[in-house]
Amino acid sequence: MSTIAPADPTTSAAASVTVGIGPLSIEEVVAVARHGASVALDPAALDEVARSRAIIEALAADPEPHYGISTGFGALATTFIAEDRRAQLQASLVRSHAAGSGAEVEREVVRALMLLRLSTLMTGRTGVRRVTVETYAAILNAGITPVVREYGSLGCSGDLAPLSHCALVAMGEGEVRVSTSSTDEAGEATDAATALAAAGITPLRLGEKEGLALINGTDGMLGMLALAIDDLRMLLATADVAAAMSVEGLMGTDAVFAEDLHRLRPQRGQAVSAANLRHLLAGSPIVASHKGPECTRVQDAYSLRCAPQVHGAARDTLDHAASVADAELASAIDNPVLTPDGRVESNGNFHGAPVAYVLDFLAIAVADVASMSERRTDRFLDRARNQGLPPFLAHEVGVDSGLMIAQYTAAGIVSELKRLAVPASVDSIPSSAMQEDHVSMGWAAARKLRRSIDGLTRVLAIEVMTASRGLALRAPLEPGAATGAVVSLVAEVGAVPGPDRFLSPEIEAITALVADGLVRDRAEAAAGAPLA
């Protein structure tokens, strides 16, 4: 099993993740990829790596051909390769497959895919040498990040091109960035040979099968799935905070969030979201101000009343995605693969369909949560629907435009999110002389989900900004403790009612508050109960 060791409080070192035969957790992937945790290798797993390597070396000496050990690859799987050409075969495989193009992929994604490939290598099911896993761990710990390009993976056989760029660096070739800290996203650009030499890492000379083992896997799409799950766990709680602020600011009722009502439809995520809304709105003077027979409102709009149903469905989708991620994290993906009883077998486990499907499913949920958020923002700005607030929440109506165009920004993002929700996994394009005649497009699904999550973050930020202004304009009525804490947080970056001003910096500042989890954390602390 893998473990996260806590940081030494006497140093500034990040936590350490131990990689062994068992699966990594999503939290461990995030710790290494996003927060700079170092990697340690479990001694028992290193013993299994050595044992499996002995099997490969025995097969390499066999005059009978064995795929990936003494043969070519893909459509060339029947071509026998003489012993004195096999090192060149593995190096040529990596060099030719490192064929990515486009913008550089984010540091956290590259670290995630390297860690996940290392995790599979440490299962002892791939037949690599001990020095190979030690080199991958050393590259991660040295803050060396291979330059991986945006385009190149079809998601079958796994993420070949992105993983090849990483393997190329382990060979002392290609491009890297060297970071001095976990927050140094860009890092200094240099060549791999220089970076490895500076870190005291000897470049690998690949042995039989090792090139295949380093590039056959779903690690890129899986790494992005793990990071997305981490993001969305925070963002869906933030969506509940934003919805509570809007319900309160638009003089909505909390009665529809009653626990007994949601027991009538026992969807797990819906119950969680409704409970969050009850906690966030508890004790709100604004909500209390319009309860009773004098209130003539029969029902709130769907974007207020049905928030638990939509946010809850997104939570259930996220839970399903996490279960798929957990299964994939427990997988040993290579082709061919060494079985526990010593067989070397070809297989199709590198196909990314399971991961690709849930990546697309999450993009659908993200688009819908953002769409509902934007509708709540829009209600605040329409004097026919905002329960007595100024049009567009403007300071001087007619002179000021207020938050009119902030809603345009949210609407434009939501429109793009709908396009990004079109699944990549229904597409396939044949490759490798029709040997790989059906591919998953999981990498593409993951890349667009990352853009979708960025869009959701911004849409929620605009709702939080709008609801904060709306709640401030309800004075002398006071918001509840949790929502009021967020209003105060937003005010700290200057987003308060007043005459028109340059609005973009405020949107960016509040987006950062949402992305960093501060909106959720401030509301949660004031509510006195954790948000699920």
**Strand-pair partners of 217:** 158
In the chain, count H helices and then E strands: 20, 10
The token pair at 400 is 């000021």
Say if residues 273 and 279 touch (Cβ distance below 8 Å).
no
State which amino acid sits at residue 474.
R
Alpha-carbon distance 395 to 53, whole Å? 72
Query: Half-sphere exposure of residue 377, counting CA atoms within 13 Å on the CB side?
Result: 28
Sequence-ordered alpha helix ranges (H) in 382-480: 404-420, 442-472
User: How deeply is 383 buried, as exposed, middle or buried, from its count of CB atoms within 10 A (0-12, 13-18, 19+)?
Assistant: middle
Which residues 6+ apart lie within 8 Å of 173 measured at CB? 95, 192, 193, 203
Count other C-beta atoms under 10 Å from residue 291's C-beta: 11
The token pair at 150 is 């945006």
DSSP 105: P
State which amino acid sits at residue 486.
V
Catalytic residue among 67, 136, 357, 408: 67
DSSP 3-state percent helix, strand, coil across the chain (nearest 5)? 55, 10, 35
CA–CA distances in Å: residue 308 to residues 185, 240, 241, 358, 448: 36, 8, 12, 21, 26
Sequence-ordered alpha helix ranges (H) in 171-267: 192-199, 210-215, 219-249, 259-263
Cα torsion 269, 468, 483, 526: sign: positive
380 membership: H or E segment, kind and range: helix 353-381
Greatest alpha-carbon span in the chain = 91
DSSP 344: E
At what angle are helices 219-249 and 353-381 packed, to 10 degrees?
A: 20
Taking alpha carbons only, the member of 240, 275, 282 closest to residue 258 is 275
Say if residues 410 and 463 touch (Cβ distance below 8 Å).
yes
* Chain centroid offset of residue 483 CA: 27
Alpha-carbon distance 256 to 299, whole Å? 9
Say if residues 304 and 504 touch (Cβ distance below 8 Å).
no
- Residue 271 φ/ψ, nearest 5 degrees: -65, -40
The two beta strands, 188-191 and 175-178, are antiparallel
Taking alpha carbons only, the member of 373, 272, 354, 353 closest to residue 313 is 272
Is 151 labeled as catalytic in the residue annotation?
A: no
Q: Which residues are catalytic?
A: 67
